[in-house]
Amino acid sequence: MSEAAERLEIFLGRVPYVRFLGMRAELAGDEMTATLPFAPHLVGNTMMPALHGGVLGAFMEMTALAQLSVISPASRVPKTIDIAIEYLRPGKAQITYARADVRKVGRQIANVHVEAWQEARSKPVAFLRGHFLLSGA
């Protein structure tokens, strides 16, 4: 197992909300894809049924933090400074995927963008833009 894969596994096991969501992640080279399997407790709108917006937002935030854990050998999880989420369409009651793009890593702060999709990556359900305080700060 590579060093990056070990850091990812440590992150996934360390954060309780990741376990609550049932989130998983895989590395393919330098690219990490996070997976949110559908579970009934994640539904916010039972009439559609659709994922709760907070679940979708938290999934994308955890994806950003997981990506930062892969690229940074820090012993602590980075802290969220701020995030902005654009909800584009309802997240259906099915598996959801996300990928994070670390746009800039400074000495203390990282800028990360995340996109989440379901059936096709070309039809995203939401975007996240966020700033994170790195643990070395």
Contact 23, 13 (CB under 8 A): no
Where is average pLDDT lowest: 118-122, 125-129, 132-136?
Answer: 132-136
Q: Which residue has the higher pLDDT, 109 or 44?
A: 109
Domain that holds residue 13: 3-133
d(CA 54, CA 127): 13
What is the average per-residue pLDDT within 105-119? 95
Confidence check: pLDDT of 137 > 70: no
Q: What pLDDT does 100 receive?
A: 97
Predicted confidence band of residue 48 (pLDDT cuts 50, 70, 90): confident
Distance CA 102, CA 60 (A): 13
Task: Kindly report the pTM of this predicted structure.
Answer: 0.92
How many structural domains are present in the chain? 1
The CATH number covering residue 119 comes to: 3.10.129.10
Residue 27: burial class (beta carbons within 10 Å; 0-12, 13-18, 19+): middle
Burial track 97-131 (b if 16+ CB lie within 10 A, e otherwise): bbbbebeeeeeeebbbebbbbbeeeeebbbbbbbb
Question: 59 and 116 in contact (C-beta within 8 Å)?
Answer: yes
Q: What is the tens place of the pLDDT at every residue in 53-108?
A: 899 999 999 999 999 998 877 778 899 999 999 999 999 999 999 999 999 999 89
